[in-house]
Amino acid sequence: MKKVMTFGVPLLVLLMAVVWQSCSMKRWAYYKLLNEVVPEKVPYINVSEVNAQYHLLDARSEEEYEVSHLEGARRIDFDSIDTSVLDGIPKSDTVVVYCSVGYRSSVAGEALKELGYINVYNLYGGIFEWAAHDSTLVGNGAKVHPYNWFWGLWRRSCP
In tens, the pLDDT along 7-65 reads 454 555 556 555 555 666 666 666 677 677 676 789 999 999 999 999 999 999 999 89
Same domain, 66 and 119: yes
Q: Using CB atoms within 10 A of its CB, is residue 107 exposed (0-12), middle (13-18) or buried (19+)?
A: buried
Supply the pLDDT for residue 159. Answer: 45
Greatest CA separation found in the chain? 58
- Give the Cα separation of 108 and 7 in Å (integer): 31
Whether residue 159 lies inside any domain: the answer is no
Q: Strand, helix or coil at 84? A: helix
Same domain, 16 and 66: no
Indicate the residue type of 130.
Answer: W
Q: What is the count of structural domains for the chain? A: 2
Residue-number span of the structural domain to which 68 is assigned: 40-154
- Give the Cα separation of 83 and 159 in Å (integer): 42
Supply the pLDDT for residue 138. Answer: 82
Same domain, 64 and 30: no
Supply the pLDDT for residue 65. Answer: 93
Same domain, 78 and 126: yes
In tens, the pLDDT along 109-134 reads 999 999 999 999 999 989 988 887 77
* CATH number of the domain where residue 115 is located: 3.40.250.10
Same domain, 10 and 75: no
Between the alpha carbon of residue 32 and those of residues 14, 90, 125, 142, the distances in Å are 10, 35, 11, 27
- Give the Cα separation of 88 and 119 in Å (integer): 15
142: alpha, beta or left, given left = phi > 0 and alpha = psi -120 to 50? left
Average pLDDT over residues 124-146: 78
Walk across the sheet containing 74-75 and list its strands. 44-45, 119-123, 94-98, 55-58, 74-75
Decide if pLDDT at 84 tops 60: yes
Same domain, 20 and 97: no
Whether residue 95 lies inside any domain: the answer is yes
Whether residue 77 lies inside any domain: the answer is yes
